[in-house]
Structure 1
Amino acid sequence: MDFSTYVAQRRPRLVRTAVLLGCPSADAEDVVQSALLKCYRSWRKVVRADHPDAYVHRVLVTTLYDARNRRWNGELPTEELPETAAADPEWAEGIAVRRALGAMSSDHREVLVLRYFADLSERDTALALGVAPGTVKSRTSRALAALAPLVAAEETS
């Protein structure tokens, strides 16, 4: 698969993955762009990998870590806030999911997003996070247990 085809097929999902990993929506595009640029530079290595999607997700995760470690994130205060969007049930559902994921530790959030949203296998998730497959299994189990009360709290509010 060539790079352009890969980006056309996977970019929206990568952006959504970055958002679910805790990246602000406004910054997710930039983080994905940076990750894809890194992948483009070594595209031959990416396509030769056993699991190219896991490779790209690993680059995305490390790029997100790097972005978080920068001191200034480019936000500037403003006196006027933009108008709020109309209430959309799907939008509200997305907010609830992001709120629940945001309340979790980064280890738990990462494993849930990569396993269930990015639909990576346990092995690919382990490759993307740089951990053993057994670690993915145990983190997933703990993360799902931690997620249940958060979802119940969102449903009652």
Structure 2
Amino acid sequence: MIVNHEEFRAYVVSRGAALLRVANQLTGNPCDAEDLLQAALAKTYLAWDRIKDPSSLDSYVRRAMVNINISWWRRRKIEEYPSDELPDVVVQYDHRHRYDELEQALDRLPLRQRTAIVLRYYEDMSEPEIARTLGISVGTVKSSVSRGMAKLRGDLVVRAAAGEHVN
């Protein structure tokens, strides 16, 4: 394995922030996002000499992140258990946290819907690009994005109706 360390380093420096945003959207947790990106970059480093087209690097890393995240999700143990009683929750709203509310709503989506929305609207990928990246059909991408967006809209409307401030 012959890896040009400077090329790899330059790639990570130039694309790291954008890839970290994708990882954060996939995991919903900044610490997990850093771990996910690091694991995906490690896989990319090992495959560096086999990746012939530099324009496909982002796709390779994103696909690695999706696969790793799915593997981690499958291994995760249930840490929360249902309860008959809901605790009283005091929610204070600060207008600066609209972005946080959107991220929380994204976190509540099923994995495929969240992934498709992140790739479509955060990474500005086309539906065929998403389909290739995730290994699914374009129709599945369209329905995943559509259903996910409907759930996001519904989530924000329900939260607003419950008295939480959502702008």
Contact 1:51 1:124 in 2 (8 A): no
Query: Which residue number in structure 1 is paired with residue 123 of structure 2?
Result: 118
- Provide closer, same or farther for how the CA distance between residues 147 and 7 of structure 1 changes in structure 2, counting only shifts above 3 A: same
Deviation, 1:68, is 2.5
2:149, 2:112 → 1: CA distance? 12
Q: 1:27 aligns with which of 28, 32, 35?
A: 32
Query: Which residue number in structure 2 is paired with residue 151 of structure 1?
Result: 156
Contact 1:100 1:147 in 2 (8 A): yes
Query: Which residue number in structure 1 is paired with residue 112 of structure 2?
Result: 107
Q: For residues 132-143 of structure 1, what are the structure 2 equivalents within 5 Å?
A: 132-143=137-148
Q: For residues 1-157 of structure 1, what are the structure 2 equivalents within 5 Å?
A: 2-48=7-53, 51-71=56-76, 89-90=95-96, 92-155=97-160, 157=164
Deviation, 1:50, is 6.5
Deviates more, 1:56-65 or 1:11-20: 11-20
Deviation, 1:61, is 0.6
With the length of structure 1 as denominator, give the TM-score of the two structures: 0.77
Runs of 5+ in structure 2 lacking a partner?
1-5, 78-92
Instruction: State the structure with bigger RCO (CA 8 A, min sep 6), 1 or 2.
Output: 1
2:121, 2:151 → 1: CA distance? 15
Give aligned pairs, total.
Answer: 142
Counterpart amino acid of residue 93 in structure 1: R
Contact 1:21 1:113 in 2 (8 A): yes
Deviates more, 1:51-60 or 1:26-35: 51-60
Superposition CA RMSD, Å: 2.4
Q: Percent identity?
A: 34
Runs of 5+ in structure 1 lacking a partner?
73-86
2:48, 2:94 → 1: CA distance? 39
With the length of structure 2 as denominator, give the TM-score of the two structures: 0.73
